[in-house]
Every structure is written in structure tokens, then in C-alpha cells.
Amino acid sequence: MSKQDEVDIEASSAPLIEHLIELRQRLMWAVGGFFIAFLFCFFWAKDLFNFLVLPFKWAVIWAGMDHRKVALIYTAPQEFFFTQIKIAMFGGLILAFPVIAAQVYKFIAPGLYRNERKAFLPFLVASPLLFLLGATLVYTFFMPMVMWFFLAMEQTGGEGQVDISLLPKVSEYLGLIMTLIFAFGLVFQLPVVTTLLARAGLATSDGLREKRKYAIVFAFITAAILTPPDPVSQIGLALPTILLYEISIYTARLVERERAEREQDDEDEDETPDPEPQPPEGGSSSDEADLEEQGRGSMP
């Protein structure tokens, strides 16, 4: 190996080491932020769980039952403890998301052009906002509707009937509501993903419009996989997905219109003729003629 090859290897390994050091630093900040948020949520885990139980209480009120009789159970000694750990993990991840997203952006921002950074920042803001919008929809409307649907299956004991009451386990209830929150939060990222694909030229509004029927089928299949096996949950997730798909078509059209306007402006700038050179200030046509005669006279 020549000395020049060794110099090239050392020069190429130096940026790699710098990137690894930067990556370690960003990971430490992200993990530290998550750990602090985890401890905070674990300290308030019971209060957070009581907050998550409110949709169940609303469903009980909608069903005309006494909300003071709302009860959840756990059948294993360690079940509620691990449920609190899950609450702390979910809550810590949500609370630490701004820190994690900021560290990811700081790591990749040096490799982006200024216009790319400006285009990336709106999506970094819109993504958590859309996730919170989907989670709010689940908490305020969808989860009470699902629990009301399940409560409607209860029956009171009577002649020829047994008493059947809904007593959810704390782990199963937490799993249900968190699954729905994350499912809706991910589905609400559809406009962000579609807009990014449109900016990259990988998706067009016409192509999305042509594939609308396949998207509708895919929405119901996805809803059947992500939600409990009841029609209320599946339809409740599929309909917002279809609506978000239509919004994605509109955002893709806006991106195409913006790109077309930018290309038209570039073409107009290219077609603009260059200004004709002007004679130097203070000069005149007679002076130019005298110079030509002198030059002609000096010729042999």
C-alpha cells in the first residue's frame, strides 16, 4: 500500500469517527430525555391510568348506568405493577418525542441544504400535531363508542338468564386504548408521508386518485388488523383513513402546483434577454470616429 493510499484512508476515516461521536452524543441526549420522562410518568402512573379510564366512564354514562360502579380488575399479583411500567413507557415516549425529534434533526441537518432544511421543518412540526389529533379523537369519541358497544352486550340476571357484567382487566384495557391511540396516530401521518413522496416525485395526485379504490380496500384491511375484531372499531378507523387519503390527494396537488409555478419562474428567467452593452459614460460618436481615422492613418 502506497503512502498516498494510507493518507486517503486516514482522511476518509476521520469524518466517520466524527459522525460516530456525534451519533453517540445525540443518542445520549435522546435516551436521557426518555429516561427522565419515564421516571416522571412512572411517579404519576396511577393518575395517568385514571385519566385513561375516563372514556370508559363516559361510555357507562351513555349506557345509562351508574358511573360510580365502574371497576377494573387484575388477576395476577404483578399485573397492575407491569401495567404502570407500560404506562410510564408510553407516556415517556410521547413526552420525550420533541427531544428525540430535535436530536434526529440536529444529526441530519448538517448534511442538508438550506432549502432542504426549510422543507423538512414543517413536517417535523406537523407530524406530532397530527399524532396528537388522532390520539384526541380516540380519547374523546372513539374509545367511549367502543366501550359503549361492549357494554351493550351485558345482561342482567333474570328468569332463564345469567348475570353478565363487563369487568375489564387493567392490562387489557390499557392495551386496547394504547393500540387505538397508536393506530390512529400512525394513520394520521398519511398526509405527511404523501406530501414527502410528492415532493420527492414518487407520488402524484393523479396516481393517488387512480388508486383510490385500492386504498379504500387497504384501509379496511388495515383497520381489521390494528383494531379489535368488532365492526365499530374497524369502521371507526377505516373512515378517517379514507378521509385522510382524500386530504393527501389535495396536498399532493398543492405540491405539484407549487413545483409547476417554480419551474415556470425559472423558464421566464432563462428567456429574459440580456441587456445590450452601453457605450462608456462621457464618450460620443464623434470621438469614436476620430479614433477610427487616427487608426486608419497610422496604418502603412
Residue with cell 361492549: 150
Residue-wise pLDDT tens digits, 125-169: 888 899 999 999 999 988 998 888 888 887 776 676 787 888 889
Average pLDDT, the chain: 81
Percent helix, strand, coil in the chain, to 5, is 80, 0, 20
Residue-wise pLDDT tens digits, 258-289: 888 877 776 766 666 555 556 555 555 455 45
d(CA 127, CA 15): 31
Hey, what long-range contacts does 208-217 have (CB within 8 A, 24 or more apart)?
A: 208/245, 208/248, 208/249, 208/252, 209/249, 212/245, 212/249, 215/242, 215/245, 216/242, 216/245
**Amino acid 42: pLDDT:** 95
With a cut of 50, say whether residue 222 has pLDDT above it. Answer: yes
**What is the mean predicted confidence (pLDDT) over 27-55?**
94
